[in-house]
Copies of this chain bind each other. A is one copy, B any other.
Amino acid sequence: MKKRQPQNFKVKVTMKTIAEEAGVTLPTVSRILNKKGGKYAEATKEKIFEIADRLKYRPNALVHGMQSGRTNTAGVMIPVIGQFYAQIIEGIHNTFVDKGIIMLLGWGENINAPKDDTKERKIIHQLVDRRVDGVILRPSCEAFELSYFEEIWERNIPLILIDREMTNITTDFVGTDDEAGGIAAAEHLIGLGHQRILFAGSSEQVSTSRQREAGFRKVIGEYPNASRESLDIDKPDHVERLMHYLKQDNGPTAIFAYSDPSAEHIADILIKAGISIPGDISIVGFGDQPSGTCPIALTTFDQHPQIIGKTAAEIYLELITEETRSDIRRERITPDIILRASTTPPQ
């Protein structure tokens, strides 16, 4: 087995190193390298730059951060799992690179472990201790500890929420216009001729599921014959309840599921039960998160996660720049329907 690359015991090169080699004092090096106070002899400048270059000097951002209070560092608490979040992170990243901001990425437990808050708080401390200039975070659950936010606000660190809005606090927020999505889903299905449409949502979910349902019902409500029922897909008995609805005399001809995973889950159940999609029942999902095992190409919604991330990053830049607090911004990106094979007119 080979060894790793050359182990050169180079001394670390600091401004002091350069100053000594150049025969000047340290502040001189500092001012020249930072181009402050232009009154230096060309010869001196050149020498300093040459040495810095030759010794591959790199400034110590830790020191700079400590002194200036600015680290050009953003805390990002968003899980990478799932295309949706990954693309949000990409959107954030893209607007940060050019600004010289780099992100500290970390997130807490998965959605289903809301009680184990230790990990989440640990990460927040990591970010605070490293003096991030601001934080962008997706609340991991509806009951996301308020005390977490306090840890951040107390230190006057700008905080931007992503995806899931929290009603009990006032912070800048960027997410999906879920209501508009619900409306569009309803309009799509009704436009195809469906009226008896089952909504499949989640009680365990946060605002997003509820708001999609709200938009959906806004449209559906205008049709007297429309279905009033909804299915909680996260309840243990959801399979029985689903089959119950389907066996009714005037059972649904279409289903709007609040997420792609649940849409796919339902599709699996239907197909196992010998119900064809979209022949017997049309299905609309939400979020465009393909899984590779979905039995049919799903009509769904693109939430434009990249734009969500980009918007959040832009707000971030404003917040860390401004001296006085401005008004809160709450941006909702309109989702766009993606027509695929899982929806047709009722037959």
Measured between beta carbons, the chain B residues less than 8 angstroms from A122 are 97, 100
Residues of B within 8 A of A153 (CB): 5-6
Q: In the complex the two chains form, what is the Cα distance from A154 to B290 in whole Å?
A: 43
Contact between B5 and A171, CB atoms less than 8 A apart: yes
Which of B86, B149, B328 touches A3 (beta carbons < 8 Å)?
B328
Indicate if the CB atoms of A2 and B170 lie closer than 8 Å. yes
Whether A106 lies near B103 (C-beta < 8 A) is: yes
Once bound together, how far apart are the Cα atoms of A123 and B89, in whole Å?
16
Q: How many residues of A contact B (CB 8 A)?
A: 76
Is A328 in contact with B123, judged by CB distance below 8 angstroms?
no
Q: Mark A291-309, 1 if CB is under 8 A from B, else 0.
A: 1111101101000000000
Alpha-carbon distance A154/B297, docked complex (angstroms): 51
Interface membership of chain A positions 83-100, coded 1 if the CB is closer than 8 angstroms to chain B and 0 otherwise:
100110110010001001
Please, which residue of chain B has its CB at the minimum distance from the CB of A260? B292
A140 at the interface (CB under 8 A from B): no
Residues of B within 8 A of A107 (CB): 93
Residue A130 lies at the interface, judged by CB distance under 8 Å to chain B: yes
Chain B residues within 8 Å of A113, by CB: none
For residue A81, CB closer than 8 A to chain B, the reply is yes
Report how far A233 CA is from B139 CA in the complex, Å.
Answer: 42
Q: How far is the CA of A326 from the CA of B7 in the complex (A)?
A: 11
- List the B side residues contacting A128 at CB < 8 Å: 58
Chain A residues 56 to 100 lying within 8 A of chain B, measured CB to CB, are: 56, 58-63, 65-66, 71, 73, 76, 79-83, 86-87, 89-90, 93, 97, 100
Does A222 reach chain B (CB closer than 8 Å)?
no
Judge if A179 is at the interface, Cβ distance under 8 Å. no
Beyond the given pairs A1-B327, A3-B170, A3-B326, 17 more chain A to chain B contacts, judged by CB atoms under 8 angstroms and listed by A's residue number, are A2-B328, A3-B328, A4-B325, A5-B149, A5-B171, A7-B156, A10-B154, A58-B128, A60-B129, A61-B130, A62-B65, A62-B130, A81-B86, A83-B86, A93-B106, A100-B126, A102-B105
